Structure 1
Amino acid sequence: MKNLFKYISIVFIAGALLNSCETTDLDLRVSPNDLASDQADPNLLLTSVQLAYGTNQQALSDISAELTRIDYMFGRDYFNNYPGSVLNGTWGRTYSSNGNGVGDPVSIGILTNLQTLETLNEDPETDLGFHVGVAKTLYAHQLLQLVDFIGEATFSQAGNPGEFPAPALDGGAEVYASALGLLDEAESLFAANPTTIGAVDIFYDEDISKWRKLINTIRLKAYYTTGNVSAFNQVIAGGNFIESAEDDFFLQYGTSELQPDNRHPDFASDYTPSGANIYQSNWIMETMLNNDDPRIRYYFYRQVDATPGADAPPNEEDLNCSLAVPPPHYNGFTYCSVPNGYWGRSHGNDEGTPPDNFKRAAVGVYPAGGRFDDSSFGNVGLGLGGAGAGIEPIIMSSYVDFWRGIMASSDAERANFLESGLTKSIAKVREFGSLDVSADLASTAPTDEDVEDYIDGIVDAFNSATGDAKENIYAEQYFTTLYGGATEAWVYYRLTGFPTTLLPNWEANPGPFPRTLLYPQNEVVTNSGLTQKQTLTEQVFWDTNPASPTFPAAN
């Protein structure tokens, strides 16, 4: 991925040119989707597929992180928080339209562009095997995720409006099987070592060997989710999956502020002239603080050194809840304030926004490309820290180690994967410190000894614990590792119910915890064969745990 800065700049520049025809030469190339299929530019089609997929990863990660307290969720009632409109964009970008993000030269969904690429590839004089292989791989992963979030997805009747103007939803298990079939097809295409003919691969720099590893890793995701131990172990035995940091799968951002803004979205929201706009989750900050986690200075940037109600006097204007008496259901949990300037909000807090933009904790240098927290307690602002050149983690080698721990045959084996996952995660996170050239890393960054002591302490605690305590340690470390790219957190939480240490909802009775989300409302409106769900309690086929509200325990 060494050339991602260059390539994503090309993508965004192309998008800016194509979107600026009102004020520039009207003879600029039009969207390839406005042309006949045999005239479309396959390279721009592939670019559109990648940007649609990347934008969806941002959206799904945010939802999953909110539900699992990795990020802060605003609003007390789950059903009202997640209406049918939540997945409109994700659905449209997967199948048909809805826009693929800033700088996208086209705005047609993954499946539509995949079908066009397949049509173009029917020309015996054209080899678009690479383009089609990439698109099939990303479409397959997207289908798995739609099932994880909705419980079903359209596949067998998708992309054929002439015959199926109101495509039916396929069951989750069937879509999982179909997605695995797409991965087989993509693998066959890559096995022929196709040429790239000018394609811009913003993920793997046209390295086919890495795409093969990604295919196997997506298979691992499907197998651990469904509990298919034998298939999981078969992939592991083959050895061709994301196992080291050089194969990590992520979207790289740039530092341009305007025309287009290609910075990490969280950096763009938090590093403004008027201060930070995102609240960080009290649960994850407190968990990391209590554990003395060496990643905390990379994840969060503190603008102040104390928090009202914790180690500073309560302040109604800045943090209204710092004066409140916690409700009974918060007994034993931190209701409002995490000390040491880790100024955030607890799950579901729907209080108004006070003038605390230059006081609340902001996103840090990892993964958003912000500031490293060197205890300088300065403010956020344009261009500071890494100037937004962060990443959107999607599937990292550290995540895969945690999956291997989930599928391990013994606690001893699981402890080894816990250690390995933490080692890879912390090493990746520490690399980002150098993005903030103004930070005092020499005095405040964790040392090799600090990291070793932390990992040893966590592994020792895991080995010594039993029952729920052991499961909580593993889950807390997995969730902490997933910060910034947490799409799989909600899957794990519904599979296991851990960690049970998650903060309660701000509301004592927030409604049943979501097991799936509603169907995308745009699809419900336009698809005569689809009726909207009435609850969020329908379970995915792989979720065989007790029904809500008795599960998960922390909700």
Structure 2
Amino acid sequence: MKRIFIYLTVFGIVAGSSSCDKGFEEVNKNPVQATSVDPVYLFSNAQFGSAIATQNYQLQIVQQINTPYTGVLEGGNHNALSDPNSNANFNSLYLQNGPVNLLTTVLAKTKDDPARSNLYNMARIWRAYVFMVLVDTYGDVPYFEAGKAFLEGINLPKYDDQKVIYDDILKELEEGTKALDATKAIETGDLFYKGNIAQWKKLGNSLLLRAAMRFSKVDVAKAQTYVTKATDPANGGLLSANSDNAYIAFNSTFNHPLANYFQGTERGNVYLGHAFVDYLKTTADPRLRVISVKYETPGNPIATAGAEDTTPANQEGMPYGYNESTITGAPGFPGKIGSAFKYSQINRRTAGKIDAPEFFITWSQTQLLLAEAVVRGWATGDAKALYESAVKAHMAQMATYDVAATIAPAAQEAYIVANPYTPARALEQINTQYWISSFLNGSEGWANFRRSGFPILPVNTYPGKDPSVKDFIRRLVYPVREKSVNQVNYNEAVARMGADELGTPVFWDK
């Protein structure tokens, strides 16, 4: 019977293929599966996917978030190597359905389509942002061949010189921004501005300003040239209000990437850094009250965490240089409640909410960079006015987290009066405020800290740190798998760039 069944089956297939193929293709088509995708949906997914978790290294290097623990939470807290944590940016942004691949596909689908020219140029601008994050994090990375596995069969892309990548980033931002045209089709699927061209021009110019300022230590002429281009009003201007901020608004279904870190299983292990809390406390910064809290039972979910103390004078950030055992010997150790420590934590009702927004580039950051450019003589304007406006802008931005985080204009003005702008300390003041304005934007806060040297932070003296780290971590190492899977290109990058170590600086940090 088995042989007969096989024979009949084969006969049926042969007979069907020779005499009954009419309508075969139609029968075997999935009537509900999409055969093509509007590239704007790929673009919006790339925007959404650009919000990445940066807590284990970036936020700890700039001493805003801290944990004493070794193991799965280790990284910037101890200046230690941890592949699962250092590869987060690389893996997230180069993911098969991540921003690099999605944006590369959008560019390929829209490059020769005049009807989608705005989407094409928006994708150029946002791809430049994504690669700024990658280069700032790792140095040399796959760029010109990246995202082309499906399009061109390039599964092992070569790594490109980071300086060459940045030159192309400058070109893409300048050209892409100028090419945006409000008379052409508006891409309402855009998550930032619903395709508003005036705002996209501001975003492109503001990113160009950010990229230009990266050269402040290594190529002053190039920095000044591109600052001039970015600030030219004829090109569309810079971000000019908090309504221009580029961010992703999360919700109860699609949670912020750090939601589990602040609200979930790690909530009792994560604290605010001592330097961050101490600076806000010393300057009587009204942002401290809405960012920092001491919970009665810090290890519990917010519903059972008990009393919430937000009094600024009572806040205590966790110092660096300790692990879960030695922290008990830190000066002024406040003690424990169960397995959790009595240090201040991020407020889970404001900046630590599961649906907190993720900010990529803001009006406050942009004004501070412009203020620095004015101080350096690369742009015109009133540095003091820009500085004060930027500080107030970030304080006003806090309300985006929650109405409970609103800082009244009177409190904003009082802070400015109590902490006046001083020309002799302009660069330190401007970049220290940039550090605060970049709170939870770990990649940008870390990049600007390396570029500017501010704020002045105490060196983390943890005894088990990686030997390549002299003072602060300068870059993250490549994922371990790259050494074996993409070995030839990996080795070429390391030979050109320098050792694949935490202490090797990226090109603009030298």
> Do the structures match in fold with TM over 0.5?
yes
SS of alignment partner, residue 250 of structure 1:
strand
Does the C-alpha gap of structure 1 residues 153 and 291 become closer, same or farther in structure 2, counting only changes over 3 Å?
Answer: same
Partner of 2:230: 235
**Is contact 1:73-1:348 (8 Å) kept?**
no
Deviation at 1:517, TM superposition (A): 1.4
Deviation at 1:113, TM superposition (A): 2.5
Q: What does residue range 232-381 of structure 1 map to in structure 2 within 5 Å?
A: 232-238=227-233, 240-254=237-251, 256=252, 261-271=253-263, 276-304=268-296, 340-351=313-324, 355=338, 357=340, 359-364=342-347, 368=351, 370=353
The range that moved more, 64-73 or 209-218, is: 64-73
Provide the aligned length of Structure 1 versus Structure 2: 432
Q: What does residue range 153-164 of structure 1 map to in structure 2 within 5 Å?
A: 153-161=141-149, 164=154
Deviation at 1:164, TM superposition (A): 4.9
Structure 1 or 2, whichever has the larger Rg, is 2
**Is contact 2:132-2:166 (8 Å) kept?**
yes
Looking at structure 2, the residues matched to 274 and 478 of structure 1 have their Cα atoms a distance apart, in angstroms, of: 28
Partner of 1:219: 208
Deviation at 1:80, TM superposition (A): 6.5
Equivalent position amino acid for 2:227 in 1: F
Q: What does residue range 329-478 of structure 1 map to in structure 2 within 5 Å?
A: 340-351=313-324, 355=338, 357=340, 359-364=342-347, 368=351, 370=353, 388-409=354-375, 413-430=382-399, 432=401, 434-435=403-404, 447-460=408-421, 462-463=422-423, 466=424, 472-478=428-434
Query: Which of residues 94, 100, 110 is equivalent to 1:111?
Result: 100
Does the C-alpha gap of structure 1 residues 427 and 365 become closer, same or farther in structure 2, counting only changes over 3 Å?
Answer: farther
Equivalent position amino acid for 1:129 in 2: S
1:264-317 CA-partner distances (Å, limit 9, x unpaired): 3445543469964521112111111111101111112232599xxxxxxxxxxx
**Is contact 1:299-1:366 (8 Å) kept?**
no
Partner of 1:210: 199
Equivalent position amino acid for 1:231 in 2: Y
TM-score by length of 1: 0.68
Deviation at 1:354, TM superposition (A): 6.5
Q: What does residue range 89-104 of structure 1 map to in structure 2 within 5 Å?
A: 89-97=88-96
Does the C-alpha gap of structure 1 residues 139 and 273 become closer, same or farther in structure 2, counting only changes over 3 Å?
Answer: closer
Looking at structure 1, the residues matched to 89 and 183 of structure 2 have their Cα atoms a distance apart, in angstroms, of: 31
**Is contact 2:50-2:99 (8 Å) kept?**
yes
1:14-43 CA-partner distances (Å, limit 9, x unpaired): xxxxxxxxxxxxx7965x7xx5xxx23434
1:300-335 CA-partner distances (Å, limit 9, x unpaired): 2232599xxxxxxxxxxxxxxxxxxxxxxxxxxxxx
Looking at structure 2, the residues matched to 448 and 191 of structure 1 have their Cα atoms a distance apart, in angstroms, of: 37
Does the C-alpha gap of structure 1 residues 420 and 29 become closer, same or farther in structure 2, counting only changes over 3 Å?
Answer: farther
Partner of 1:520: 479
SS of alignment partner, residue 209 of structure 2:
helix
Query: Which of residues 173, 177, 180 is equivalent to 2:170?
Result: 180
SS of alignment partner, residue 358 of structure 2:
strand
Looking at structure 1, the residues matched to 314 and 455 of structure 2 have their Cα atoms a distance apart, in angstroms, of: 25
Partner of 1:139: 127
The range that moved more, 176-185 or 166-175, is: 176-185
**Is contact 1:245-1:397 (8 Å) kept?**
yes
**Is contact 1:294-1:451 (8 Å) kept?**
yes
Deviation at 1:96, TM superposition (A): 4.6
Q: What does residue range 531-550 of structure 1 map to in structure 2 within 5 Å?
A: 531=491, 533-544=499-510
Looking at structure 2, the residues matched to 290 and 133 of structure 1 have their Cα atoms a distance apart, in angstroms, of: 45
Does the C-alpha gap of structure 1 residues 194 and 527 become closer, same or farther in structure 2, counting only changes over 3 Å?
Answer: farther
Partner of 1:500: 456
Does the C-alpha gap of structure 1 residues 80 and 270 become closer, same or farther in structure 2, counting only changes over 3 Å?
Answer: closer
Deviation at 1:84, TM superposition (A): 4.1
Looking at structure 2, the residues matched to 264 and 153 of structure 1 have their Cα atoms a distance apart, in angstroms, of: 26
SS of alignment partner, residue 137 of structure 1:
helix
Looking at structure 2, the residues matched to 365 and 171 of structure 1 have their Cα atoms a distance apart, in angstroms, of: 41
Looking at structure 2, the residues matched to 171 and 366 of structure 1 have their Cα atoms a distance apart, in angstroms, of: 43
**Is contact 2:122-2:176 (8 Å) kept?**
yes
Partner of 1:18: none
Looking at structure 2, the residues matched to 474 and 415 of structure 1 have their Cα atoms a distance apart, in angstroms, of: 10
Looking at structure 1, the residues matched to 84 and 213 of structure 2 have their Cα atoms a distance apart, in angstroms, of: 30
Does the C-alpha gap of structure 1 residues 179 and 280 become closer, same or farther in structure 2, counting only changes over 3 Å?
Answer: same
Equivalent position amino acid for 2:146 in 1: A
Deviation at 1:176, TM superposition (A): 0.6
Partner of 1:22: none
Does the C-alpha gap of structure 1 residues 264 and 160 become closer, same or farther in structure 2, counting only changes over 3 Å?
Answer: closer
Partner of 2:64: 70
Looking at structure 2, the residues matched to 220 and 421 of structure 1 have their Cα atoms a distance apart, in angstroms, of: 15
**Is contact 1:252-1:392 (8 Å) kept?**
yes
Looking at structure 1, the residues matched to 417 and 279 of structure 2 have their Cα atoms a distance apart, in angstroms, of: 17
Partner of 1:379: none
Query: Which of residues 490, 493, 514 is equivalent to 2:446?
Result: 490
Taking only aligned residues, the RMSD between alpha carbons, in angstroms, comes to 3.6
Does the C-alpha gap of structure 1 residues 408 and 222 become closer, same or farther in structure 2, counting only changes over 3 Å?
Answer: same
Looking at structure 1, the residues matched to 31 and 346 of structure 2 have their Cα atoms a distance apart, in angstroms, of: 39
SS of alignment partner, residue 419 of structure 2:
helix
TM-score by length of 2: 0.73
Does the C-alpha gap of structure 1 residues 183 and 29 become closer, same or farther in structure 2, counting only changes over 3 Å?
Answer: farther
Q: What percentage of aligned pairs have identical amino acids?
A: 19
Looking at structure 1, the residues matched to 399 and 182 of structure 2 have their Cα atoms a distance apart, in angstroms, of: 38
Does the C-alpha gap of structure 1 residues 217 and 404 become closer, same or farther in structure 2, counting only changes over 3 Å?
Answer: same
Q: Of Structure 1 and Structure 2, which has the larger fraction of its residues in helix? A: 2
Equivalent position amino acid for 2:361 in 1: I
Unaligned runs of 5+ in 1: 1-26, 98-107, 307-337, 371-387, 437-444, 545-555
1:174-223 CA-partner distances (Å, limit 9, x unpaired): 001112233345335522644256x5322222222211211111100111
Equivalent position amino acid for 2:244 in 1: D
Equivalent position amino acid for 2:397 in 1: K
Does the C-alpha gap of structure 1 residues 121 and 405 become closer, same or farther in structure 2, counting only changes over 3 Å?
Answer: closer
**Is contact 2:250-2:357 (8 Å) kept?**
yes
Does the C-alpha gap of structure 1 residues 28 and 293 become closer, same or farther in structure 2, counting only changes over 3 Å?
Answer: farther
Deviation at 1:152, TM superposition (A): 1.4
Does the C-alpha gap of structure 1 residues 418 and 116 become closer, same or farther in structure 2, counting only changes over 3 Å?
Answer: closer
